[in-house]
Amino acid sequence: FEGNLPLLKADGQPLWARVAAVKVASADDAPPTFMIQVVDVTAEREAREQLSYQAFHDALTGLRNRAWILDMLEADLRTARRTSSRVGVLFIDLDNFKLVNDSLGHAAGDEVLALVADRIASVLRPSDRVGRFGGDEFVVVVPDVQNGPGVEKVAERISNAIATELTVQGHRIVPTASMGIAVSTSTSTPASLLRDTDSALFRAKY
């Protein structure tokens, strides 16, 4: 036998161990004897889990990152084609965010981004997906929708949640965001759907 097992130390602390057991040759009438090797691999496992987490999460906000959203969007589109449903996508961009960084500093800007991320996540359904695409841009994927108005209701909840006054480093800020919305068709790909939402966002902002 060889494998990784969760064990407890004598003091009750958990650890992961790589355990290998080998039967030792013995006389026919002797009871079976085994040599067992136990190696603590907790640090190795935690490092691997941390790398896996970093590969698909944004370090600042804790949200999923661009790579994960693209993977999940591909899966959602396959499901939508199979079930004759549609996928809605919202591209969210904070308004005048550069002013926060320029006037209050990047630490304040990071705090705003983290707070906004929490607000977006707090008003989504369990099936909805949200990720940070970079900078002050967020993407929300709404699977299994039938039409645009259904996605617009999600956008309204997000907009109201974002536009609540917050205090950062003693300064009162009322953040707002512009959004682009697109709903998939039978031929949509992650790239084409995100391109449509980006185009809609540009029209919303300018």
The whole-angstrom separation of Cα 63 and Cα 84 is 29
**Half-sphere exposure (CA, 13 Å, Cβ side) for 44?**
7
Q: What single letter denotes the amino acid at residue 2?
A: E
* Residue of 95, 136, 144, 198 marked active site: 136
Question: Is residue 58 flagged as an active site residue?
Answer: no
The whole-angstrom separation of Cα 163 and Cα 64 is 22
- Report the relative pairing of strands 137-145 and 86-94 from DSSP bridges: antiparallel
Dmax (CA) of the chain = 88
Residues serving a catalytic function are: 136
